[in-house]
Chain A
Amino acid sequence: MNIERFLPTEEAVALLELTQELAEHELAPKVDDFEARGEFPREGIRTLGRAGLLGLPYPEEFGGGGQPYEVYLQVLEVLAGRWLAVAEAVSVHTLSCYPVAAHGSDSQRKRFLPDMLGGELLGAYCLSEPQGGSDAASLTTRAVRDGDDFVVTGTKAWITHAGVADFYNVFCRTGGPGPEGISCLLTEADTAGITPQAREKTMGLRSSPVAQIAFDSARVSADRLIGDEGGGFRIAMSALDSGRLGIAACAVGLAQAALDYAVAYSRERDQFGQRIIDFQGLGFMLADMATQVSAARALTLHAARLRDAGRRYSVESAKAKLFATDMAMKVTTDAVQVLGGYGYVADHPVERYMREAKVLQIVEGTNQIQRLVISRALARQH
């Protein structure tokens, strides 16, 4: 379906057209095969990178696209509608560039960003650990200073792009307990002592590798410390505010795809002598789905526009992530219902959409954590 988009510039319109074309020709024909085989589409992502889609919200002087979040998120939305794992890859990579872009020194930005934004490299973000996901401040991976290096030991969990990424942002404890003891190290994936473990067998996003990563006395040069020593937790949290918007946009794109498929099907499918969309019970269901998708898009882009204007957007970003991903779960489930038995089999994509939607309620802070962020903000208000 054609979505009435409100884009700020002509170049944004051109960018969305390019994204549509790439999604249509490079993603749509391949998604089923790659998901079935559980194969990561590294070449496809390189194609997006060469087109300039792997560094959109970063400054042009470092090779980024110089685009506002409002535009970047709509690009993600289009990609997610064709292949959620690829949109997630773009979102995770973009998030992986955030610590050095926002908190790195000038020389670190000059040294690292052009390659990271250039489209050939892929990043990952190592925050969660087996015993601590939501409670990130309690992480135990240790980095001990030894001469010009940090020596990193511990285990990170749920790492998207484990084994395929070229660099990892590793959040580790360089000081005492609590959030003030955490630092951020930008490490190369081929550093000795960094070993991705066996891939998790996931419900959805099967083409996207997720695994634990073991750090066994991995030596990382101290000039790869991003921000201040002890400043890592603040970096992680501010990165998550942006990452949440990425996930919200993915949810909107996925739900839009489910809606489009359900609408197309219900216009074709006849029962009792008429199209099933003309039965009010089903037509109203589709109307509710369409409204929910539009509402989630509006909420997500509102938070993005606040971010673009340099305003506080942390709570709005949590609301957008919460609403858009719960919405995507509901809309994809309803899309399966619209197709009936056909919705439950893999011949139609809606069963995949439904499996994929679930993870969006969990990643970048579970939706319970989003509610915590929002309710704490409410409690602080006078």
Chain B
Amino acid sequence: MKIVVLVKQVPDSGAERNLRSDDSTVDRDSANNVINEMDEYAIEEALKLREAHGGEVTILTMGPERAAESIRKALSMGPDKAVHVLDDALHGSCALATSKVLAAALKTLEPDLVIAGAESTDARGQVLPHMLAERLGAAALTGARKLTVDGATLTIERQTEEGYEVVTASTPAVVSVWDTINEPRYPSFKGIMEAKKKPVQTLSLGDLGIDAGEVGFGGASTAVVEHARRPPRQGGTRVNDDGEGGVKLVEFLVSEKFV
């Protein structure tokens, strides 16, 4: 089975993150850039499938030059090779344009299965897997907490707020996963060493037959009009217990879906 895992480099979600003041894109210079957390689960799921069914796992990343660090890190977990779509003209691309580029790259790789994190910790749009499935004419199995492969038949448990749905499709398919699906492995020391020797192919927009005007700020279907820092935390709601305190607390918890 040929599996491609989408890996995005994002600013570490554990630290303070900002948008740039000049063009409102993610400020990568001042951040500690890491593999998007959910993508590690996607890699783990791909590696488990390879262990069970054989095949090949390829990492696909679109991002600036420094994303190469995250590609190496991803490869150190065990995938076979990587493709890095790298082009200065990509800066400022919207989700739709990103899906066009990734779909073009995926067509050159002809995977049976594409696995992605359900969302990235920077944009959190959750739209890319659906867009890719549409562009590729592949099934979209999104938000999985469990994935089973039986020949060409894929079954996922799609995580919902109330429980889960069982969704079945055939390959080719795009599967997006949540962090409930597995426990990603650590890279091994040997894996880190081997990752340095694994092939990483770099593709430009030209290689993919995409015009620079279709991507970046010029080709964007959405724009950030303005942005502001998160407002300071407000004081919480105070519940005075005049006999109804317990009820009010439960109502609050229910309204926030804690219970």
Chain A residues at the B interface, C-beta cutoff of 8 Å: 11, 14-15, 18, 21-22, 26, 47, 50-53, 56, 65
Bound-state CA distance A18–B190 (Å) is: 11
Cβ of A65: which chain B residues have Cβ within 8 Å of it? Answer: 189-190
B185 within 8 A of A: yes
Interface string of B167-198 (1 = CB under 8 A from A): 00000000000000000011111101100000
Which residue of B187, B189, B193 has the most chain A CB atoms within 10 A of its CB atom?
Answer: B189
The reply to whether A47 and B192 form a contact with Cβ atoms under 8 Å apart is no
Cβ of A26: which chain B residues have Cβ within 8 Å of it? Answer: 186
Nearest-neighbor residue (CB-CB) of A47 within chain B: B186
Bound-state CA distance A56–B193 (Å) is: 14
| Number of chain B residues whose Cβ lies closer than 8 Å to a Cβ of chain A | 8
List 19 interface pairs A-B (beta carbons < 8 Å), by A numbering. Answer: A14-B189, A14-B192, A14-B193, A15-B189, A15-B192, A18-B186, A18-B187, A18-B192, A26-B186, A50-B186, A50-B188, A51-B187, A51-B188, A51-B189, A52-B189, A52-B190, A53-B189, A56-B189, A65-B189
Bound-state CA distance A65–B186 (Å) is: 16
Bound-state CA distance A11–B186 (Å) is: 16
Cβ of B186: which chain A residues have Cβ within 8 Å of it? Answer: 18, 21-22, 26, 47, 50-51
The reply to whether A18 and B189 form a contact with Cβ atoms under 8 Å apart is yes
Chain B residues at the A interface, C-beta cutoff of 8 Å: 185-190, 192-193
Cβ of A21: which chain B residues have Cβ within 8 Å of it? Answer: 186
Bound-state CA distance A15–B186 (Å) is: 12
Bound-state CA distance A88–B189 (Å) is: 20
The reply to whether B192 and A11 form a contact with Cβ atoms under 8 Å apart is yes
Nearest-neighbor residue (CB-CB) of B187 within chain A: A18
Bound-state CA distance A21–B186 (Å) is: 9
Nearest 5 A-B pairs (CB), nearest first? Answer: A52-B189, A52-B188, A14-B192, A51-B188, A51-B186
Nearest-neighbor residue (CB-CB) of A49 within chain B: B188
Cβ of B189: which chain A residues have Cβ within 8 Å of it? Answer: 14-15, 18, 51-53, 56, 65
With both chains docked as a complex, state the minimum distance between the C-beta of B215 and any C-beta of chain A, in angstroms: 34
Bound-state CA distance A167–B46 (Å) is: 35
Bound-state CA distance A41–B35 (Å) is: 29
With both chains docked as a complex, state the minimum distance between the C-beta of B223 and any C-beta of chain A, in angstroms: 38
Cβ of A56: which chain B residues have Cβ within 8 Å of it? Answer: 189
Bound-state CA distance A14–B192 (Å) is: 7
Cβ of A53: which chain B residues have Cβ within 8 Å of it? Answer: 189
Bound-state CA distance A22–B188 (Å) is: 10
Bound-state CA distance A38–B192 (Å) is: 34
With both chains docked as a complex, state the minimum distance between the C-beta of B139 and any C-beta of chain A, in angstroms: 34
Cβ of B193: which chain A residues have Cβ within 8 Å of it? Answer: 11, 14
The reply to whether B185 and A50 form a contact with Cβ atoms under 8 Å apart is yes
With both chains docked as a complex, state the minimum distance between the C-beta of A85 and any C-beta of chain B, in angstroms: 20
Cβ of B188: which chain A residues have Cβ within 8 Å of it? Answer: 50-52
With both chains docked as a complex, state the minimum distance between the C-beta of A28 and any C-beta of chain B, in angstroms: 14
Cβ of A50: which chain B residues have Cβ within 8 Å of it? Answer: 185-186, 188
With both chains docked as a complex, state the minimum distance between the C-beta of A250 and any C-beta of chain B, in angstroms: 20
With both chains docked as a complex, state the minimum distance between the C-beta of A56 and any C-beta of chain B, in angstroms: 8
Nearest-neighbor residue (CB-CB) of B193 within chain A: A11
With both chains docked as a complex, state the minimum distance between the C-beta of A143 and any C-beta of chain B, in angstroms: 37
Nearest-neighbor residue (CB-CB) of B185 within chain A: A50
Nearest-neighbor residue (CB-CB) of A75 within chain B: B189
With both chains docked as a complex, state the minimum distance between the C-beta of A113 and any C-beta of chain B, in angstroms: 16
Which residue of A15, A47, A51 has the most chain B CB atoms within 10 A of its CB atom?
Answer: A51
Cβ of B185: which chain A residues have Cβ within 8 Å of it? Answer: 50
